[in-house]
Amino acid sequence: MAAQGEGAPANAQSEQIDAVIVGAGFAGMYMLHRLRELGLSVRVFEAGDGVGGTWYWNRYPGARCDVESLEYQYGFSDEVQRGWNWSERYAAQPEILQYQNYVADKLDLKRDIRFETRVTSAKYNERNGLWAVETDKGDFVSTRFCIMATGCLSAARVPDFDGLDDFEGERYHTGGWPHEGVDFSGKRVAVIGTGSSGIQSIPVIAAEAEHLTVFQRTANFTLPAGNRPLTREEVERSKETLLEDRRHARETPGGIICFEYNETLAEEMAPDALQKELETRWDQGGFAFLGAYGDLMATQEANHLAAEFARAKMRASVKNKDVTEKLLPFDHPVGVKRLCLDTDYLETFDKPHVDLVDLRENSIERISKKGVVCGGKEYEADAIVFATGFDAMTGALLSIDIRGRDGAELREKWAAGPRTYLGLGSAGFPNLFFITGPGSPSVLSNMIVSIEQHVDWIAGCVKRLTEGNIRSIEATREAEDEWVAHVNELASETLYPQANSWYMGANIPGKPRVFMPYTGGVNVYGEKLDAVAAADYEGFQLGA
Ligand code: NAP
């Protein structure tokens, strides 16, 4: 229906739609499917020209998931899943994007997605109880439900280096990689950043480039992913138990079933047994390592044992003794920054055409016409790759001008850190939902499990509202305050707040230092979600 909407710009035609979803990654796609099942009219706005979210943008060489393929897939439909066959233990970006397109086509999702369209504002109108959503393409939509599926790591960030625009060579960010790919052969390449994206891309870029200089500010813990092709039998066998496995994943702390957390404390284990446990889990590859004993993420002493083990393994992977110690992380406990999984990362520094510049000695002074200047030296490059990360968890959300009751700005409300109830909603913003928002397990879990948990909960809530003829739902201030305090308290019982991580907002100058994800685990969190829904959305206010 096209009509002049309340609050619309003078000459704008507004459409009225039951629900708007922002983002067409895993979260937006599944949310669209669930709301359509409820019979709602839905419009998804997506900045890219295709579905995929994270996997649409992050096409850098070597991009690969760090959760195993058989676990990193939807669990809501046996039929959908049976039609898909993963080829590797950890799927590479192109395969995940193909999978997402397969699901989108199978469920005929694309017809409700407006691509290449960025939402610029969402404003709540108290008089009619509708959100007015505007886009950069001039759309103006009135909607009852506004659902942010904007992703936790989708606002790519290049640091504000002096002279950035002076550089005359090619410039890339891992989180916005050209779709046609980049040919680095015969080129001198500089990579800035050694988080997951840097660590995955560096070996692949090194294999192609004539020369590679890696600029490292913080050495990270990394362990071999142990990637390999999946056998046909493994793939077929996984289909037999798929839905059951996905349900089971929700009952675990991390939404992952390929390993279990050992609850025994380090001091309760004999030293040999502890080392054996670490060894087995290191060899297994992936995040199993962090579940080796119960207090690994809780005390410095216990963590130190795993950190020392990891450093010894890392040390043994590099022959070039000039760089070995520089590649080892000593300034943070293991696991408090996202653990990196790699394929031949450390070994790459044994290649004669690969150099490491340790920014702990001298930070980057500026970018010049010809390259990167640091410690008074200019490192010339034909291309600079910024693997410098994201304005995580809040960046994409707050890039939209979101205003709730009385025109209150979400940006202002969150100026000292995000405030949500359950990571799902914020007081003063009725019918606005965040999928995997700050205050929920999100990035500390298998994202797909957390996404499905939230989408299912939101769909149940929307059903309750529409069937009950209830106009709105909104977190109460009290419930929100209690939840924020609870999330902070849980985090303070762990080692997480001790690192300058993006979990803490520490990678963005001026961003408040608050630990954003919920550390209590997907399983405990899920029980809370169920209890809230069963108590007719306790902690939320339902408005007639
Ligand atoms: P990141 O972990 O935030 O790493 C950014 C890197 O850039 C860090 O080494 C950082 O150093 C460095 N950096 C930032 N600003 C800098 C500056 N001004 N000067 C010098 N160095 C600077 O970002 P990311 O690697 O893109 O990864 C983000 C997250 O995305 C990961 O933690 C993970 O959750 C997810 N991810 C997952 C996968 C996967 O599934 N395999 C792959 C890629 C990313 P500091 O550490 O000192 O800040």
Residue type, 98: Q
- Could you report the per-residue pLDDT of 183-192, keeping only the tens digit for each? 999 999 999 9
pLDDT of residue 4: 42
User: What value does the mean pLDDT of the chain take?
Assistant: 95
Closest CA to 22 of 454, 543, 434, 482: 434
How many whole angstroms from 218 Cα to the centroid of ligand 1?
10
* Residue 58 alpha carbon, nearest atom of ligand 1: 43
- Could you report the per-residue pLDDT of 82-134, keeping only the tens digit for each? 999 999 999 999 999 999 999 999 999 999 999 999 999 999 999 999 999 99
pLDDT band at 322 (very low <50, low <70, confident <90, very high): confident
47, pLDDT greater than 60: yes
2, pLDDT greater than 60: no
Mutate to test the pocket of ligand 1, among 26, 88, 197, 336 (most ligand atoms within 8 A of CB): 197
Mutate to test the pocket of ligand 1, among 200, 205, 222, 338 (most ligand atoms within 8 A of CB): 338
pTM: 0.96
Q: Cα–Cα distance between 387 and 132 in angstroms, integer?
A: 36
* Residue 507 alpha carbon, nearest atom of ligand 1: 48
Mutate to test the pocket of ligand 1, among 216, 388, 393, 444 (most ligand atoms within 8 A of CB): 388
78, pLDDT greater than 60: yes
pLDDT of residue 8: 54
544, pLDDT greater than 90: no
How many whole angstroms from 362 Cα to the centroid of ligand 1?
19
Residue type, 540: F
How many whole angstroms from 23 Cα to the centroid of ligand 1?
22
1, pLDDT greater than 80: no
Residues with CB under 6 A from ligand 1: 64-66, 153, 159, 174, 192-198, 200, 217-218, 338, 359, 364, 387-390, 443, 502, 507
pLDDT of residue 9: 56
* Contact partners, residue 330, CB within 8 Å, separation at least 6: 219, 311
Buried/exposed 45-61: b ≥16 CB within 10 Å, e otherwise: bbbbebbbbbbbbbbbb
Q: Cα–Cα distance between 342 and 285 in angstroms, integer?
A: 10
Residue type, 216: Q
- Could you report the per-residue pLDDT of 408-444, keeping only the tens digit for each? 999 999 999 999 999 999 999 999 999 999 999 999 9
Higher pLDDT, residue 12 or 209 = 209
- Residue 319, CA distances (Å) to 152, 247, 301, 326, 346 in order: 37, 44, 29, 13, 9
Q: Cα–Cα distance between 431 and 126 in angstroms, integer?
A: 12
Q: Cα–Cα distance between 515 and 507 in angstroms, integer?
A: 12
Q: Cα–Cα distance between 392 and 375 in angstroms, integer?
A: 29
* Residue 198 alpha carbon, nearest atom of ligand 1: 25
Laid out side by side, the sheet with 383-386 consists of 170-173, 383-386, 188-192, 211-216, 354-358
- Our CA angle for 164, 165, 167, nearest 5°, is 80
Q: What is the DSSP string of 217-272?
A: SS---EEE----BPPHHHHHHHHHTHHHHHHHHHTSSSS--SS----S-GGGS-HH
